[in-house]
Amino acid sequence: MRGKPEVSFVHNLSWNAGAFRGENRNDILFVSSVQLGTGYFQNFAKTRREGFDADLEGRIGRVTWGFDYTFLVATYQSPAVVDGSANNTSDSALPGYPGLDGNIYIHPGNRIPLIPKQSGKAFANYRATGKLTFDLSEVAMSSSYARGNENNAYKADGIYYLGPGVSPGYGVTNFLAHDDFTKHFQLAVQVDNLFNLRYYTAAQLANTGLTAQGTFIARPLPEYTTGPQAGNYPLQSVTFFTPGAPRRAWVELRVRF
């Protein structure tokens, strides 16, 4: 759907909205392995992505502005088994042996990791003169499940499993100014992540031998002395994060022929 409502003080106002739904069979998705930073591709019999998106744009005086929003639910639609060594709901942790290798079970309806449910962008463009323009934009993402939390059931216990199991949401502001001071030359100044926000773009559950102080301990927890896992040493697992880019700025001289 789309439209152009009449608003007296807003020029060129327009909007678009739509819903979508798609199902994939034999989808190929990346899943994590026991080793941090490694993994493999696995076929999933059926996955689904559905939701809606909308945008609104308009102009008030010298300011052009707009909003874009997407609501997306990406889910597994078939059962599967994947590595869950760093997940407290693995088939070794639930019977009473946390910190050991194990698997987790994906059920239809579980959300696919690393795909935010909500995302959006807002922008404003101010034309100060016929040649000088300022742009300000905000990109926002909601939280998403960490890789290794494919069953969406992970919960930290503070002993064997640390960290939230999700990558938190964020909003990043960007700035651009450009001046067409001649027909062939344009001077531009751009600043990404204007407020130098610390944020994360992804997360993964994985075993670690490092303490919070950065010391390596090969066996941080005592061994199991009874039962079928006697003699095995559990490991701690944490949520590792992929950091977003810090603030960066540059000046460009663009030449047009």
Task: Give the pLDDT score at 219.
Answer: 86
Chain-centroid distance of CA 177 in Å reads 28
In this structure, what token pair is assigned to residue 8?
């007296």
pLDDT in tens, 167-214: 999 999 999 999 988 878 889 999 999 999 999 999 999 998 887 777
Q: 214 versus 232: which is more confidently predicted? A: 232
Q: What is the pLDDT of residues 67-124, one digit of tens each?
A: 999 999 999 999 999 999 999 999 999 999 999 999 999 999 999 999 999 999 999 9
Which pLDDT does position 71 carry in this prediction? 98
Q: How confident is the model at residue 24 (pLDDT cuts 50, 70, 90)?
A: very high
Mean pLDDT of 226-237: 93
Lowest-pLDDT range, 26-35, 74-83, 217-226? Answer: 26-35
Provide the residue range defining the domain that includes 182.
2-255
Number of folded domains in the chain? 1
> Is pLDDT of 218 > 60?
yes
pLDDT at residue number 6: 58
pLDDT, position 35: 60
Give the pair of three-digit tokens for residue 75: 């889910």
Per-residue pLDDT tens digits for 32-58: 765 655 677 888 999 999 999 999 999
> What does the pLDDT read at residue 7?
56
Q: How much is the pLDDT for 42?
A: 84
pLDDT at 249: 96
What are the contacts of 28-35 at 24+ separation with CB within 8 A? 29/112, 30/147, 31/82, 31/83, 31/147, 31/150, 32/83, 32/86, 32/147, 32/148, 32/204, 32/205, 32/206, 33/83, 34/83, 34/85, 34/101, 34/207, 35/206
In this predicted structure, the answer to whether residue 162 has a pLDDT above a threshold of 80 is yes
**What pLDDT, on a 0 to 100 scale, did the predictor assign at position 12?**
78
pLDDT score of 1 more than 70: no
Q: CB of 186 within 8 A of CB of 180?
A: yes
Report pTM. 0.87
Q: Name the percent of the chain in helix, strand, coil, to the closest 5.
A: 0, 55, 45
Q: Is the pLDDT of residue 215 over 90?
A: no
